[in-house]
Chains A and B, each alone.
Chain A
């Protein structure tokens, strides 16, 4: 009797009270704006002054805890170089969240970021949560993109917006947390995620049929 009682009491105690949600997140943006640095800062808390340029797409995971949910990010850090752009659609398809990064000291990267946002709005899942990150905010002295300008653009397009710095870690965790907060975390979130992926699989043959 005693055995049974303690045995059954064990499980409700030990059972995790929080639900776990897994989300696919993709980073997009011009090369050398700091996508990999942002991820490295978020996942490992590190910063490398001379971060090598990414080849293809890098894959990392990180878990964050919200009040009652554990959010597991499956992060795809895409290469910014032009020749890898053909890979990007594979990664933003079926993603629940995207961070579009630009460099606040470079106006061109902001223009490129706008293009990425447009492409996401057209091609990605309609429910995708998009965040705009103005990186390198530690170099505010050399600023070329005004905060207000970017904020206005983000408001217009319903994007989350923050100026970040992978170097000083400013707003890095915050932007990921803001995304985690905005993502739907119903019990079916995991299923929806899988659904999203399956939908993406369905997309592929359709595009193939047109290519033929």
Chain B
């Protein structure tokens, strides 16, 4: 074939000598070797060019890495060369330029990833289980590229044929061969679009994954994978955070416990019989246990390795100090319990006071009754009170026993607020029962 006219630009695998279009690299090489052997050095350079181009196209990592390594070595040698003192010359900040370039790139990746995520969401929600329906569903959401004119896999440049079929990336719709496809497990996909769905499934085997997973091109897969990693790192709790949360929850428990203890203690000092000394001691023990737990956790937190002087180290020390202070001020400064003798004394005094009060009331009432003519008192709310004679069968007695059972249970579970409520009720019941007996006798 003769050389064409000057203005026409030829393209393809052209022989540098005779300008023939050879259609493929291998054909060109063999053509050159057979016809233009005399120009050996040209051939050598040509081979090199093709080799490099091939490597770049195929992303041959090992070679690239070597090149890089060489370059880096060269750099370090350079540094040694320039190690003598040197003043900073004229400089120009490229930060703004760098930022502009970077933000444009970030923007591009972010928008692309978001687009893919939206598609992924549409794909995985309401995905039909039937293979044919699923194919339709997938094509409605992402239109597939028409592959009739595509002869080679755009990724690996191998020709499509009966054994190397054309496939489509489910997220961008582009063509690729099976070897270049990556598969995304459906459960993983669901957990990406909806973080509330935890991905608990075990690693699926390759065969299953290829059957059920989403076929993606490497580019889309990497973008999705990156987003997944960011998501995971954001949600992951470090050991430190877990320990801190545990400590906080213990503190939350301690607060009402201390309040309850104070109340119970006060009640004892006031000579009330709602709580026993044993109850209050049990409560004290509970608070002690909580304090121990908080102490232990805060020690754990401060012992986590951190570079001294960093913010994390400061934070850890601060947590420990705060916990220690909290334990010292709030949990260990509890009021001392009264002794049995003290309680007895207080109760006796109270009883006497109550007696006097009752005497006073009674005298006052008598005086009032003497002054006023007996008026019809309002109907009491107990008109249905059954006979108190059959003691075994009295619902009041029955109820008292029920309440006693409840009190025992609440005591065992250290629920002293409930104990107080139930004790009050038991007292009411006892009073009611006595009144009933009095009215009958």
- Report which A residues bind B (CB closer than 8 A): 2-3, 6-7, 9-10, 14, 16, 55-59, 61, 74, 82-87, 89-90, 93, 119, 123, 197, 200-201, 204, 206-212
Contact = CB atoms under 8 A, between A and B. Distances in A.
B398 to A, nearest CB: 5
9 contacts: A2-B318, A6-B321, A14-B252, A59-B425, A86-B382, A206-B377, A207-B380, A207-B382, A209-B377
A6 B381 contact: no
A7 B322 contact: yes
Contacts of A123: 381
User: Chain B interface secondary structure, helix, strand, loop or mixed?
Assistant: helix
Interface in B249-271: 251-252, 255
Nearest to B326: A10
Contact of B321 (A7, A86, A90, A93): A7
A86 B380 CA distance: 11
A14 B248 contact: yes
B402 A56 contact: yes
Contacts of B389: none
Given A61-B418, A86-B384, A209-B377, A204 B432 contact: yes
Contacts of B377: 206, 209-210
A86 B398 CA distance: 12
B241 interface: no
B431 interface: yes
A84 B429 CA distance: 13
Contact of A6 (B318, B422, B432): B318
A210 B398 contact: no
Count class of interface residues, chain B: 35 or more
B372 to A, nearest CB: 12
A181 B319 CA distance: 38
Contacts of A59: 403, 406, 418, 421-422, 425
Nearest to A93: B381
B378 interface: yes
Nearest to A92: B381
B51 interface: no
Contacts of B395: 56, 83-84, 86-87
Contacts, number: 95
Contacts of A87: 395-396, 399
B125 interface: no
Given A59-B418, A59-B422, A93-B381, 15 more contacts: A2-B321, A3-B318, A10-B322, A14-B248, A56-B402, A57-B399, A59-B403, A59-B425, A86-B385, A87-B399, A90-B429, A200-B428, A208-B438, A211-B380, A212-B439
B386 interface: yes
A81 to B, nearest CB: 9
B64 interface: no
Nearest to A81: B395
Contacts of A55: 398, 402
A85 B384 CA distance: 7
A9 B431 CA distance: 49
- Of the candidates A2, A56, A119, the one having the most CB atoms from chain B within 10 angstroms of its own CB is A56
B251 A14 contact: yes
Contacts of B421: 59, 74
The 7 A-B pairs at the shortest CB distance, nearest first, are namely A210-B377, A56-B399, A89-B381, A207-B380, A7-B325, A6-B318, A211-B439
Given A14-B255, A208-B435, A86 B322 contact: no
Contacts of A210: 377-378, 380
B382 A89 contact: yes
Contacts of A197: 424
A122 to B, nearest CB: 8
A131 B386 CA distance: 29
Nearest to A90: B428
Residue of B318, B365, B382, B402 contacting most chain A CB atoms (<10 Å): B382
A96 to B, nearest CB: 13
A39 to B, nearest CB: 14
Which of A59, A61, A200, A201 has the most B CB atoms < 10 Å from its CB?
Answer: A59
B293 to A, nearest CB: 15
Interface string B309-327: 0000010011101100110
Contacts of B329: 7
A9 B318 CA distance: 11
Nearest to A200: B428
A86 B318 contact: no
Contacts of B402: 55-58
B435 A204 contact: yes
B380 A7 contact: no
A200 B432 CA distance: 12
A123 B380 CA distance: 9
A10 to B, nearest CB: 4
Contacts of A207: 380-382, 435
Contacts of B314: 2
A210 B438 CA distance: 12
A6 B421 CA distance: 38
Interface in B380-433: 380-382, 384-386, 395-396, 398-399, 402-403, 406, 418, 421-422, 424-425, 428-429, 431-432
Given A14-B255, A93-B381, A212 B438 contact: yes
Contacts of A90: 425, 428-429, 432
A139 B215 CA distance: 52
B72 to A, nearest CB: 45
B398 A56 contact: yes
Most A Cβ at <10 Å: residue of B252, B319, B322, B438: B322
A58 B409 CA distance: 13
Contacts of B378: 206, 210
Nearest to A10: B322
